[in-house]
């Protein structure tokens, strides 16, 4: 008799498929919002040094205390307000593992990062979706506050992936004042936003506000797997108690520490990406039939007629990879394009012009 393993899976986990990053090898990869610039030389040197001097025979420090201390100093909070994770993704999962569960709800504002919903379902948490405006993707503040009144957790992304916009601080203020929910603000891309956009300074006076950050984007370390949460020490304590003990390995801790210590070295890179973003935005907006949304992140969302085909031709005829969202609800004919180096962006533009038959 054949054994049907699928029927034995915990019901809340049934039907999940392995994550598909929709990757194909291309010369120019602008599909996953990575930082495509070379690492600053002294950061690279520090990393090589860390990799060659970190012993591997000992278990890691479970809480990555040296790294926590450095992150805390950077953000002007105490070390007890910082939790490190194996990418922001691990922390998102742990938040739902911790604060979700049967009879609890998570409020999200799609189109947004899909993992919130996936992790909620895995943790048997109801998902309440408050959709953004179909025209300009703005958030419906009143509806979000209403939904949050009955929820245990709200997850908002600022700047949002894939729409690029920041969450208005007044909305966060309302969620904290008018509801009793825990509010996660996912700031994975905030380094690319104007100075002062981060709400990290609010954490100290708002024990229900939690900020997620990552080294995967501005710090160009997506492959390393290191993210962190800034929150009230009570939140950090419960997360510390339920985490996979050694999820952040010694090499990741050592490399992340070097990168965070050298954080000012990334500032010129971030500035270059922001300048390139503004240039690319102008060019994309001028393409025939294109609609472009302003972005405070390192990517742009653009609506182009026949987006799925445009994306396939970019990949197959020009070896340029971008992310197709045209299948996703609310994102018909939308492509998400990571801002690359000047040369990469030029290649994208000339490929797009060839496909769309612009002079
Ligand atoms: C990339 C991203 C993250 C974190 O990614 P990790 O690589 O797991 O740190 C979190 N939220 C959003 C919206 C992202 O796009």
What is the pLDDT at residue 20? 86
Among residues 228, 243, 261, the one where a domain terminates is: 261
Instruction: Give the total number of structural domains in the chain.
Output: 2
Q: Is the peptide bond before 143 cis (omega within 30 degrees of 0)?
A: no
Measured from the Cα of 160, ligand 1's closest atom is 13
| Minimum CA distance residue for ligand 1 atom 14 | 188
Task: Determine whether the shortest distance from the Cβ of 161 to ligand 1 is under 6 A.
Answer: yes
pLDDT tops 80 at residue 254: yes
Model confidence pLDDT, tens digit, residues 86-106: 999 999 999 999 999 999 999
Indicate the pTM of the whole model.
0.97
Confirm whether 14 is domain-assigned: no
Q: Answer whether residue 1 is part of any domain.
A: no
- Host domain of residue 248: 42-261
**Helix and strand totals (H; E) in the chain:** 11, 13
- Same domain (yes/no): 349, 273: yes
Residue 162 φ/ψ, nearest 5 degrees? -105, 10
Nearest protein Cα to ligand 1, atom 5: 88
Closest protein CA for atom 12 of ligand 1? 188
- Decide whether any atom of ligand 1 lies within 6 Å of the 87 Cβ: yes
Asked if pLDDT for residue 298 goes beyond 80, the answer is yes
Q: Which atom in ligand 1 lies closest to the alpha carbon of residue 86? A: 8
The verdict on the CB of residue 157 being under 6 Å from ligand 1 is yes
Helix (H, G, I), strand (E, B) or coil at 229: strand
Asked if the structure places residue 218 within a domain, the reply is yes
Contacts of 68 by beta carbon, 8 Å cutoff, 6+ apart: 79, 82, 83, 84, 228
The DSSP-derived string for 149-212 is HT-SEEEEESS-TTT-PPPPHHHHHHHHHH---EEEEE-TTGGGSPTT---GGGGGG-TTEEEE
Out of 261, 288, 303, a domain closes at: 261
90 Cα nearest atom in ligand 1: 8
Tokens representing residue 67 in the block:
């790294």
167 lines ligand 1 (CB under 6 A): no
pLDDT at site 117: 97
- Indicate which CATH number applies to the domain containing 120: 3.40.640.10
CA–centroid distance, residue 2 to ligand 1 (Å): 40
């Amino acid at each position: 008799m054949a054994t049907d393993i699928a029927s034995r899976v915990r019901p809340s986990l049934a039907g999940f498929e392995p994550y598909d990053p929709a990757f194909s090898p291309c010369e120019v990869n602008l599909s996953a919002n990575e930082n495509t610039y070379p690492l600053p030389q002294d950061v690279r040197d520090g990393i090589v040094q860390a990799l060659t001097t970190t012993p591997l025979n000992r278990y890691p420090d479970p809480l990555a205390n040296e790294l926590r201390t450095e992150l805390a100093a950077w953000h002007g909070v105490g070390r007890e307000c910082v939790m490190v994770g194996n990418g922001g993704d691990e922390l998102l999962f742990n938040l739902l593992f911790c604060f979700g569960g049967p009879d609890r709800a998570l409020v999200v504002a799609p189109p947004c990062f899909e993992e919130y919903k996936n992790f909620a379902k895995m943790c048997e948490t109801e998902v309440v979706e408050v959709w953004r405006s179909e025209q300009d993707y703005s958030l419906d503040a009143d509806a979000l506050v209403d939904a949050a009144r009955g929820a245990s957790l709200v997850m908002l992304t600022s700047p949002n992936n894939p729409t690029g916009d920041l969450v208005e601080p007044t909305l966060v203020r309302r969620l904290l004042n008018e509801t009793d929910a825990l509010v996660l603000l996912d700031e994975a891309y905030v380094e690319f936003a104007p100075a002062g956009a981060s709400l990290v300074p609010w954490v100290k006076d708002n024990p229900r506000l939690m900020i997620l950050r990552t080294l995967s984007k501005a710090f160009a370390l997506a492959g390393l797997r290191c993210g962190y949460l800034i929150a009230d020490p009570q939140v950090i304590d419960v997360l510390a108690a339920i985490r996979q003990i050694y999820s952040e390995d010694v090499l990741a801790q050592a490399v992340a520490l070097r990168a965070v210590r050298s954080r000012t070295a990334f500032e010129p890179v971030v500035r270059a990406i922001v300048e390139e973003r503004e240039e690319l935005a102008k060019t994309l907006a001028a393409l025939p039939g294109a609609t472009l949304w302003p972005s405070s992140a390192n990517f742009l969302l653009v609506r182009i007629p026949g987006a799925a085909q445009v994306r396939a031709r970019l990949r197959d005829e020009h070896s340029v990879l971008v992310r197709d969202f045209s299948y996703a609800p609310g994102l018909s004919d939308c492509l998400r394009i990571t801002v690359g180096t000047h040369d990469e962006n030029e290649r994208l533009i000339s490929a797009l012009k060839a496909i769309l038959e612009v002079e």
